[in-house]
Structure 1
């Protein structure tokens, strides 16, 4: 009798290695395997998209801008250079988008608006990272990316801060998005509150104008007649023929009442008055924003005191005369 360990038993039947893969049952098994593999791949892809770790190519026409833009829509040389670089070397850095919460099958940009525009104009797909983002997360990502690249001018940062405030986002969101503290945020908002849309449109991005000059400009607009003088100048200037900095300087000079902003100079009006007895001489000079009186006489201290006492009455007479005219 052969032993139970004998492997050369002639009557032993072994199952076929192809049994489970043959016939109808084999087809079903293969289909299930394929579906399982595809489901696994889809799950991995979705996970990568959720984590923002996978770059895909999108049709630019299916990508919408951020619901709160942080750039002024102006043409400049830097965009032309970016477009030329992408045309020559391809898009080196992907943009960040999220599925558009209001439009099925579309996306919304968090950052990379100029790269998206360049790809659209070139007629090529845009490389993008797709990530699920809340409104707040999108705005913070949008602001931080541009702040790190120092792409935004002071004016654009100020306008973005104002938009965040007007949309009901807390100041903490604005500080996180722009990477600034509470003091700097207050300065940005204080400046932009003085700017009319007409002034912003005329000035452009003003990338070379920093915080100090913007604060001076805001103060000039708040001065008596400052805003009116600036707007009158802009309306008379018509179409821009200068770069941003020259336009800023011209608008600032108009706001402070400088006599040089229109290119013409007016002579200071010089006036003199003598008392009948010639004992008192008053000389006055008037400019765009200030006047000066020089009173000369031995009696001048007494006359000055008398004049100051009469000042309320004189000013009332002046105001009434302006209302009549």
Structure 2
């Protein structure tokens, strides 16, 4: 598939990332808007809000107010404003009983709003891993001018053969430096692999908030047993309980004859312990195996 021309989007995104956060409003004068006049964005990249953390934030907001203004944009027709970045602060303000919050209003296109929300959320330490990966892939797709589904393969190519596309490497380094979430190579080696997990596991992470550590245990299970582990995880099982169940699957697994033979042949003491009759029998069987494998080859 031919690459899209990314120049216009790259310039806007580069300026956004260079600003480190799209809601850095220290040089702007925020205004107050009613919490009821604000609408959550349809581009909100954070799929789940931790209720306990939200209550903690609400307590802080109740004591100190909202310290960082929300970024909002006017809704069509002048009917209120849409939150571009800061929905957690807005939710916390509502929980705390605040009637108004500080905002900065900007006219942003859908694409600009989507980029701003992505960059702002990637600045947060409490972002779910799957949200982080999906958001980062989306930003990389725009920086490199590739469809999102092609990004993982391109990133693996760049890690292994960076000299083939030095301009892409430069753009990635600039993006990740601005985001402040480590290097792009570390992202590829440590987090991008999540997208290789089974589809039901990824769906559970995206739609039901399944945590990264629990999802990793489910993904490590034999394919035929992942559904059982996934049900346990979504039902509230702890990581220790999932690991115990996973170990029981492995104990129930029939021994692999080829693996047993390979281990025995590597263990000289086991071979030396055979009697003369058993040794001759083993040599006969190995000879037959060698003949069969030779014919198969």
Q: TM-score, with normalisation over the residues of structure 2? A: 0.57
Contact 1:72/1:156, CA 8 A, preserved across alignment: yes
Q: Is 1:307 the equivalent of 2:289?
A: yes
- Compared CA separation, residues 74 and 149, structure 1 to 2 (3 A): closer
1:85 maps to what in 2? Answer: 60
Q: Report the 3-state secondary structure (helix = DSSP H, G, I; strand = E; otherwise coil) of the residue aligned with 1:258.
A: helix
Separation in 2, partners of 1:259, 1:124: 54
2:248 maps to what in 1? Answer: 259
CA-atom RMSD in angstroms: 4.4
- Compared CA separation, residues 308 and 234, structure 1 to 2 (3 A): farther
Separation in 2, partners of 1:308, 1:202: 52
Contact 2:48/2:209, CA 8 A, preserved across alignment: no
2:260 maps to what in 1? Answer: 292
1:23 maps to what in 2? Answer: none
Worse overlay, 123-132 or 170-179: 170-179
The 5 A counterparts of 1:29-178 are 53-100=28-75, 104-121=78-95, 122=97, 124-162=99-137, 175=175, 178=179
Shift of 1:82: 0.6
Q: Which has the larger radius of gyration?
A: 1
Give the strand-richer structure, 1 or 2: 1
Higher relative contact order (CA 8 A, sep 6+): 2
Give the helix-richer structure, 1 or 2: 2
* Count of residues paired in the alignment: 226
Separation in 2, partners of 1:232, 1:149: 33
- Compared CA separation, residues 232 and 267, structure 1 to 2 (3 A): closer
Shift of 1:239: 2.0
Contact 1:58/1:127, CA 8 A, preserved across alignment: yes
The 5 A counterparts of 1:3-22 are none
Contact 1:98/1:109, CA 8 A, preserved across alignment: yes
1:5 maps to what in 2? Answer: none
Q: Report the 3-state secondary structure (helix = DSSP H, G, I; strand = E; otherwise coil) of the residue aligned with 1:53.
A: coil
Q: List alignment gaps of at least 5 residues for structure 1.
A: 1-49, 270-285, 315-325
Shift of 1:159: 3.0
Q: Report the 3-state secondary structure (helix = DSSP H, G, I; strand = E; otherwise coil) of the residue aligned with 2:279.
A: coil
**1:236-287 CA distances to partner (integer Å, 9 max, x unpaired)?**
5552154xxx3xx655776xx5227xxxx95787xxxxxxxxxxxxxxxx28
Q: TM-score, with normalisation over the residues of structure 1? A: 0.53
- Compared CA separation, residues 133 and 238, structure 1 to 2 (3 A): closer
